[in-house]
């Protein structure tokens, strides 16, 4: 493949249900590298032969390819085209250009993928580890971070002003109040789904999910496991704006305390506060107030369930 054919430093291949994660990765690295994701490149795809365009991107125009893999990948219409392009390219040039990232707990890697090919353990190292690996993978294949010009800096500043104005208008609307609560409910659904996957793989472990409860303006649910409790509380005080609204998440240990009315007391181990916003690509996310990091429902669920598991395993071990 000639370097003159290269148009992108990285292209993402994924199934439709993983578009949220793909968009998040794209958002994080597109300021440093030229990246291709079909949902962000609609203007380039309009009026083209989709099959030829996708084949060209993954076979010759992308320096590296990232596959967000689950067992359905390669079976859908578009991922089947991308799989063919990747396999043909690998047959001629080797597999160094492609990185597979399983995004489901139960998966079987493609039989044609060499066992020596390394794939990234997303569930172990999380989004921050993945971004670091992507950066290294792109540079190892000859990509280099963009050098920001003064014009780029000015355009980014103007883009940020436009984004802040659009976000402020949205947050000061009844629509935002309604959609924020729906997003919070979706968070609970995502957590229950991830817990069900864990339950299927463990014989002697339990989780108890309680809520969603609405008391005045507070909406709350919790997950309890072996004297450990993870609590999610969405506080929204107004019906027409999201001013002063926040998602409060904390992890607590349930301790015996005969002086309390129910014989227990709660010791807070970790607590964070998040705001509901949309990012610069119109994806709804949670923003950590302390670090300003952005999380999708899936990412926030994975992070806090990991914290709960660490504490619950420790508590269970002490009970044995």
Q: Looking at residue 275, what is its pLDDT?
A: 96
Report how far apart, in Å, the C-alpha atoms of 225 and of each of 69, 91, 143, 251, 316 are.
Answer: 30, 49, 45, 11, 9
What confidence tens digit (pLDDT) does each residue in 34-50 have? 999 987 655 455 445 66
pLDDT band at 279 (very low <50, low <70, confident <90, very high): confident
Task: Check pLDDT > 90 for residue 265.
Answer: no
Q: Looking at residue 46, what is its pLDDT?
A: 46
Instruction: Tell me phi and psi for residue 57, to 5 degrees.
Output: -60, -50
Task: Check pLDDT > 50 for residue 3.
Answer: yes
Q: Looking at residue 24, what is its pLDDT?
A: 83
- Pairwise pLDDT comparison (205 vs 28), residue with the higher score: 28
Average pLDDT, the chain: 84
Which residues, in sequence order, are CB contacts of 205 under 8 Å at separation 6+?
198, 199, 225, 312, 316
**What is the chain's Cα-based Rg?**
22
Domain 3-140, CATH number (from 3.40.50.720, 3.40.190.10, 3.40.50.10140, 1.10.8.60): 3.40.50.10140
Output the pTM of the full model: 0.65
Q: Looking at residue 191, what is its pLDDT?
A: 92
How much is the average pLDDT of 19-32? 86
Task: Check pLDDT > 60 for residue 19.
Answer: yes
Which residues, in sequence order, are CB contacts of 175 under 8 Å at separation 6+?
none
pLDDT band at 320 (very low <50, low <70, confident <90, very high): very low
Which residues, in sequence order, are CB contacts of 110 under 8 Å at separation 6+?
74, 83
Question: CA 37, CA 12: separation in Å to the nearest integer?
Answer: 6
pLDDT band at 121 (very low <50, low <70, confident <90, very high): confident
The closest of 13, 125, 31, 133 to 73, measured between CA atoms, is 13
Question: CA 188, CA 184: separation in Å to the nearest integer?
Answer: 7
Q: Looking at residue 49, what is its pLDDT?
A: 64
Q: In percent, how much of the chain has pLDDT > 70?
A: 86
Task: Check pLDDT > 80 for residue 311.
Answer: yes
Residue pair 11/66 in contact (Cβ under 8 Å)? The answer is yes
Q: Looking at residue 215, what is its pLDDT?
A: 54
- Pairwise pLDDT comparison (313 vs 137), residue with the higher score: 137
Task: Check pLDDT > 90 for residue 319.
Answer: no
Residue pair 112/87 in contact (Cβ under 8 Å)? The answer is yes
How much is the average pLDDT of 256-284? 78
Q: What does DSSP say about strands 35-36 and 8-14: parallel, antiparallel, or unpaired?
A: parallel
Question: CA 129, CA 81: separation in Å to the nearest integer?
Answer: 29
Which residues, in sequence order, are CB contacts of 141 under 8 Å at separation 6+?
63, 64, 96, 97
What confidence tens digit (pLDDT) does each residue in 177-208 have? 999 999 999 999 999 988 888 877 666 667 78
Q: How do the domains of the chain map onto residue ranges?
A: 3-140, 174-319
Residue pair 15/73 in contact (Cβ under 8 Å)? The answer is yes
Q: In percent, how much of the chain has pLDDT > 90?
A: 44
Residue pair 69/123 in contact (Cβ under 8 Å)? The answer is no
Q: CA-based angle 88:93:94, to the nearest 5? A: 90
Which tokens is 49 given?
């032969």
Task: Check pLDDT > 70 for residue 229.
Answer: yes
The closest of 307, 303, 300, 302 to 228, measured between CA atoms, is 307
Residue pair 67/14 in contact (Cβ under 8 Å)? The answer is yes
């Amino acid at each position: 493949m000639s370097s003159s054919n290269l148009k992108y430093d990285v292209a993402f291949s994924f199934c439709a249900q993983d578009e949220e994660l793909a968009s998040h990765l794209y958002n994080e690295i597109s300021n440093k590298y030229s990246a291709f994701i079909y949902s962000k490149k609609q203007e380039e795809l309009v009026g083209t032969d989709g099959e030829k365009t996708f084949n060209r991107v993954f076979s010759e125009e992308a320096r590296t390819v990232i596959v967000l893999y689950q067992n359905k990948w390669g079976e859908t219409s578009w991922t089947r085209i991308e799989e063919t392009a990747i396999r043909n390219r690998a047959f001629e040039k080797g597999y160094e250009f492609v990185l597979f990232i399983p995004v489901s707990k139960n998966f079987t890697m493609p039989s044609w993928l060499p066992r020596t090919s390394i794939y990234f353990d997303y569930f172990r190292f999380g989004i921050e580890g993945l971004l670091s690996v992507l950066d290294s993978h792109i540079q190892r294949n000859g990509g280099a971070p963009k050098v920001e010009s003064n014009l780029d800096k000015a355009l980014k500043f103007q883009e940020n002003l436009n984004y802040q104005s659009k976000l402020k208008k949205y947050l000061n609307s009844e629509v935002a109040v309604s959609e924020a609560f729906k997003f919070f409910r979706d968070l609970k659904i995502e957590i229950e789904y991830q817990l069900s996957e864990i339950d299927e793989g463990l014989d002697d472990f339990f989780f108890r999910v309680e809520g969603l409860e609405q008391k005045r303006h507070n909406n709350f649910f919790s997950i309890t496991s072996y004297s450990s409790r993870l609590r999610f509380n969405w506080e929204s005080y107004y019906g027409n704006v999201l001013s002063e609204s926040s998602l409060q998440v904390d992890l607590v240990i349930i301790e015996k305390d005969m002086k309390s009315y129910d014989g227990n007391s709660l010791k807070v181990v970790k607590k964070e506060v998040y705001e509901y916003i949309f990012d610069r690509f119109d994806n709804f996310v949670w923003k950590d107030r302390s670090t300003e990091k952005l999380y999708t429902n899936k990412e926030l669920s994975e992070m806090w369930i990991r914290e709960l598991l660490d504490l619950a395993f420790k508590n269970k071990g002490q009970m044995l």
